[in-house]
Amino acid sequence: MIIGEYLKKNDIDTYRELKNIGRMQKKKDIKLGDRPERLMQHDSYRKQGRRVRQVKWG
Q: What is the pTM of this model?
A: 0.41
- Residue range of the domain that includes 41: 3-54
The whole-number pLDDT of residue 9 equals: 92
Q: Express each pLDDT in 27-54 by its tens digit.
A: 666 666 677 777 778 788 888 899 988 8
If pLDDT is split at 50, 70 and 90, which confidence band does 13 have? very high
User: In whole angstroms, what is the distance from residue 43 CA to residue 35 CA?
Assistant: 14
Are 36 and 12 contacting, i.e. CB atoms less than 8 angstroms apart? no
Count of structural domains, the chain: 1
Strands 45-48 and 51-54: antiparallel
- From first CA to last CA, the distance across the chain in angstroms is 42
**Cα pseudo-dihedral 41, 43, 45, 48, rounded to 10:** 170
| Residue 42 CB burial class (10 angstroms; 0-12, 13-18, ≥19) | exposed
